[in-house]
Amino acid sequence: MFQSPDYSNTLSLKLSEVLQDVGVNEEIVLKRRRVSMLMENIGTVSWRSVGITSTEYYFGSQSESTTTNGLNSDTDTMSVIHDYNVIQNWSEWKQNKINLLMIQDENVTMGYCFLQLLRSDEPLFETIIPDRHYIRDSKGRILLKNTIMNSLHEDAERHGPSNAVPGDEGYTDIDIVFGFPCNSLPQSASHLPDRISIGGWPTSEMIRYVVSNGCFVVGASSKISTYPELEWRISTSLGERCFMFNLNITQLHCYVLMKIILKTFLTPQRESALSSFMCKTVVLHCIQNTDRNIWKKNNLFTCFTYCLLELQSYIENENCPHFINPENNLMAGQFTTEGKLDMLRKIRGIIQSDGRCLLRISIDDIGNRLQVKFHTDRAIPHGIPTSRDINEKISGWLYGNLAKKISNNSLMHLKKLSNDNIINLKQCILKLASYSVHGSRAKQIGSRCLLPFLYSTIGCAMVSSNFRQNIAVLNEALKWLSLGLNSDVSSGRLKAASSLYCLYFVDRAECILRQTENRYNCDIVEPVCGCTRYPLSNESADFRRKCRERNEDCINCITSFCVRFIQMEINCVPRELQYEMMRSTRDGIQHRTSLERQWMNFAVVDSLPFLYFLQYKTYGHLQRYQDKQRALSNLINITVSGKNLGHRETALNLVGQCMEQENKPMEAMRCYMLSLQQRERNNAAKFHVCNLLRKHVSHN
């Protein structure tokens, strides 16, 4: 294999093919970035529509498309709070903002800063400590402690949106941080426009973008800080993302390969002083210092070796200058003497292997795939997915996460608006609607993903508050419900059907239910619930295929969201489901998780069980007893064996009440006990058990 005279060229091409096969290809790169941009815009317009001036960003490997399934990279999310204004000169001071002066002196670690509080009414230093989050230092300055971010995280847990907790099975870890904006780069990065580039990269246009977008400060101190509560890390993530978005596919392959080598040979089992961010920085410096023409597929192995040699040099000198802020040495104080020598020994071994080490990479079966590429007579070993399988899996994962994001932010809207009135709900809709027309392309799409859920909510709220009293209001409410029908395959339609059923328009409700059942192809449609944390790894093959073939427009025809009713909608909720709004005792409320606190005062049920339950009720009213029993059978089957049900305990409670109505109290009791096995606390099944026992005692 490696004795061929042009093996470097051949190895480069084969290696490039392998990396494309495992998902680092133009199709997936564009899809990852598009979905990430859409998700961050969904988050931003959600916050803005309820009056919170924050901007959400997605950074890191997932948004850059510099990861593979085997690398299992985390998702870095930053919420930038615009109530705070970090400045570096007085001209940036803003009235009625919390102005903070960035201080970088001899007491601050390079790449970090202190934040000194200024007055909000005029550009002067603040002299009074406003609250516990500030402290007066030895120079008399009022400095903001980074521990304020802890309270911001707690507030985010209360109000959402929330995605996943690190370590949950089936999830990529999500690293959520809060930051404050600064309109200019730190002074130590002021020479960025004057940097000399051999290959014309980064371009002047990229540099202008980076400079104009400034930086963020986040609440984290360096490991060697003397003042760990006062230091704030300066983040240039937006500029770094710009640079990463402007790499060609070979440059992306080189960085991904560096990460795979890092995880396989350099830090296989433990945390290390060497990080993937350092590898990224090395690659960016190498691209800047070489001719752009060398970064081609047939030269990948040479470029990769060059990056390893640069990394080796940086470790030897213990100096890895940050790409945007070169005075910030990323390796300062990171290595022990023993650790440094061990790392250098490993890197030399990789370089001297002349590519043979690549055959030992198990991540994404890189080694086996490379062997197959060089021996065309060999078949891909059994169990190793094809390129098509991987692309479809990634596409399904991406759109599954996008659907989850929509669900999370829809839940955040309901939580924020649950105690408001219809007027405030309309104002929220108007704000979102303005983004859907006048915002950026991504904001328009994001707003349109969220609006149908609010349409259904306001429609139900109007029906509920004017229950069979005002015909004009009822007609307006039905129009809103009509606008919300296509939120996804089922949830908007089920809210409309539930409203019609409660209004005794049973024939119209049955018609919508029949249409919904016809739309719900169980081989393709995936249930989505942002209320619970089930893994997003069980999508059907047909769902993944659809996700690969289409863009985000597929969400509303291949996903089925859970159905949520807030208190304002209570008269649009069948009596059997209303109990879910009163599921908790005082003790149960105290044991709710941060995510559960967002929805447990609502009536929430998965779409498919609710569809069959509503059919059971409507067919009963229409005296279609055979159809009624078929609906009950479907309800039982989906409750017992349905996958990815976020509210199985609620479905069991509905089955139990159907059993009571069928005069089968023992079967009903069995359902309630199974429900309590699913969720011991905060479960309406406790009420149903007591009620069933009361009926039994009363009857006897």
β-bridge pairing 98-103 and 84-87 = parallel
Across 447-549, the runs of DSSP E, i.e. the strands, are 526-528
Count of residues making up the chain: 700
Contacts 24+ apart (CB under 8 A), 190-198: 192/324, 195/288, 197/288, 197/289, 198/288, 198/289, 198/290, 198/291
Q: How far apart are CA 65 and CA 58, in angstroms?
A: 12
* Residue 2: predicted pLDDT: 41
Written as six digits, the tokens of 600 are 């447990």
The tens digit of pLDDT for each residue in 61-85 reads: 999 999 999 998 888 899 999 999 9
Task: Give pLDDT < 70 ranges for the chain.
Answer: 1-5, 152-175, 268-271, 377-378, 468-470, 472, 534-538, 700
Is 553 within 8 Å of 593 (Cβ atoms)? Answer: no
CA distance 536 to 171: 7
* Whole-angstrom distance, CA of residue 441 vs CA of residue 41: 10
- Amino acid, res. 392: E
Q: Which two tokens stand for residue 365?
A: 């079966």
Q: In this structure, are residues 432 and 447 in contact, taking their beta carbons and an 8 Å threshold?
A: yes
- Cβ-contact 147, 229 below 8 angstroms: yes
How far, in Å, CA of 417 to CA of 438, rounded? Answer: 24
Bridge partners, 99 (sequence order): 85
**What does the buried/exposed string (b/e) look like for 379-392 if buried means 16 or more CB atoms within 10 Å of the residue's CB?**
eeeeeebebeebbb
Tell me the β-bridge partners of 174. Answer: 75
β-pairing, 215-218 with 98-103?
unpaired
Interatomic CA distance for residues 55 and 687, integer angstroms:
43
CA distance 291 to 284: 13
Place of tokens 């009163």: 582
Output the pLDDT for position 527: 92
**What local confidence, expressed as pLDDT, does residue 377 receive?**
66
Kind plus residue range of the DSSP H or E element containing 561: strand 559-561
- Please choose, from the candidates 46, 418, 59, the residue with its C-alpha nearest in 3D space to the C-alpha of residue 216: 59
| CA–CA separation, 238 and 236 (whole Å) | 6
Contacts of 616 (CB under 8 A, 6+ apart): 628, 631, 632, 635, 658
What pairs with residue 77 in β-bridges? Answer: 58, 176
**Shortest CA distance to 37 belongs to which of 62, 19, 12?**
62
Task: Count Cβ atoms within 10 A of the Cβ of residue 465 and give its class: 0-12 exposed, 13-18 middle, 19 or more buried.
Answer: middle
Helices (H), 50-75: 61-64
Buried b (16+ CB within 10 A) or exposed e, 239-253: bbbbbbeebebbbbb
DSSP reduced 3-state for 515: helix
| Model pLDDT, residue 1 | 38
- Tell me the two tokens of residue 324: 């945007």
Place of tokens 């609502």: 602
User: What φ, ψ does residue 3 adopt, rounded to 5°?
Assistant: -90, -10
**Bridge-based pairing state of the strands 215-218 and 174-182:** antiparallel
Alpha carbon separation from 100 to 147, 178, 679 (Å, rounded): 15, 16, 47
| Inter-residue contact 115 to 215 (CB < 8 Å) | no
According to the 3-state scheme, what is the secondary structure of 443-471? HHHHHHHHHHHHHHHHHHHHHHHCCCCCH
**Spatial CB neighbours of 368, under 8 Å, sequence gap ≥ 6:** 380, 381, 384
CA distance 562 to 262: 41
Helix (H) or strand (E) holding 60: none
Task: Identify residue 516 by its one-letter amino acid code.
Answer: T
Secondary structure element (H or E) that encloses residue 69, with its range = none
Question: Which amino acid is it at 632?
Answer: L
Give the DSSP H/E element, type plus range, for residue 180.
strand 174-182
Q: How far apart are CA 234 and CA 213, in angstroms?
A: 13
Closest CA to 557 of 595, 586, 514, 528: 528
> What is the pTM (predicted TM-score) of this model?
0.91
CA distances from 358 to 344, 347, 368, 382 (A): 18, 13, 10, 20
Closest CA to 495 of 583, 560, 432: 560
pLDDT of residue 615: 98
